[in-house]
Structure formats: structure tokens, C-alpha cells
Amino acid sequence: MTTKTSKSYHHGNLREALLEAAEVELIEKGVEKFSLRGVAKRAGVSHAAPAPHFGDVTGLLSALASVSFKRFADAMQSNSDAVAEDHPDKAKAKLVAIGIGYIKYASEHSDMFDLQFSSERTDPSKAFLNKLSSNSYQILEDHVQAVLALDNRALKDNPDAAPMLWATTHGLASLFARRKRNGGPQGQELQDAFERILWRTANAI
């Protein structure tokens, strides 16, 4: 990582290099031991180098959370896009796929996922974080609306539909990520159980 980020820095990509180093620092040290000095050392630059780009550690972690939100949204949307056009229950299948993408991202990138949703070291008041968080939720809400439209219903008439789906999905994702982090069983059986829960939730809205 040091070689890669130093090379990026010399090509004028210091901000990107620091974000790459910050992600590795987060994964290896955890959010509580995360430091600007550690990131700078990992990137092969002076300890003062991150400040002009991020201000302080909160600014850097907030920027890193924004990177994760973008990847998170892409993971959900990609999973939805993979549903076959001729699926007999396409709208619900896409909604379930959104949930599966959500859970997979939490499992495969648990440190970044926790940074997005659970860390007290980011600044949720930052406009860019609010926008990216809203964009992620909008993907889910749009797919809920597509399911409701099958019966000529709308979100304004079913205000609990999207929050119910989100709460279920986020709870499953957090559980799956925690089990993986603690070395608990993952397995296809558990994944299949989560998918069945998502289908039941989709059918209930």
C-alpha cells in the first residue's frame, strides 16, 4: 500500500492516496485506534499532509464513509440489475436483490459498513454524507414503489412500506456482519434464511 499510495501522491493524487491508506488503516487498526499520523505514514507522506485535504480525523473518516456509501449503493443497484428481465415476479425479485446486495456489502466490508452507520467519529451533519445516505435509501424506496405499483398503490398511501423493508434489511445486514466479525457461522443455509425473510417482507408490503 505504501508503494502504491506514494506513487499516486507523486502523480498529484494525494487525496485518493490518503483515502486508500485510510481504508487499510481502518481495517487493520479499527476506528478507535484510527489516526491521521498512521494514515500519513501508511501513505508515505508527512504527518501534516492530510490536513489540507480533510482538516482533522473526523473529516478524513467522513470522507472515507462517503466512499463506502457510494460502493454500498453500487452494490445494491448491481444486484438489482442482475435480475433477469423475464423473471416472473421481477419487481419483488429486484427488491429482494437490493436487500441481498445490502447484506453482502455489510458482510464483505463490515468495517466500512460500521463506519457509515455506527461510528461516532464521522460528522453526519456534513452535506455530502447526508446526500449519499439519502441516495442509498432512495434506491430501496424506488424499488418498494415499483412493488406497490403492481397493485396501483403508492408510497404516500403506504408510508410504512419502505421503513419496514429498510429496518428488516439493515437488521439482517448488521447481524450477518457481526457474526462474520466474531467468527460465527455464515454458510449458505444462513444466507438462504435471510433471503426467505426478505421475500416475506417484500410480499407483506
Measuring CA to CA, which residue among 76, 118, 124 is closest to residue 96? 76
Q: What is the Cα–Cα distance from 52 to 32, expressed in whole angstroms?
A: 23
pLDDT at position 8 over 90: no
- Three-state SS for 94-158 is HHHHHHHHHHHHHHHCHHHHHHHHCCCCCCCCCHHHHHHHHHHHHHHHHHHHHHHHCCCCCHHHC
Rounded Cα distance, 54 and 48, in Å:
11
pLDDT of residue 1: 42
88-107 pLDDT, tens per residue?
A: 999 999 999 999 999 999 99
How does pLDDT run across 50-76, given as a tens digit for each residue?
Answer: 999 999 999 999 999 999 999 999 999
**Residue range 183-197: average pLDDT?**
83
| H/E run at residue 92 | helix 90-108
- Domains of the chain, CATH where assigned: 1-55 (1.10.10), 56-204 (1.10.357.10)
As a whole number, mean pLDDT of residues 158-186 equals: 88
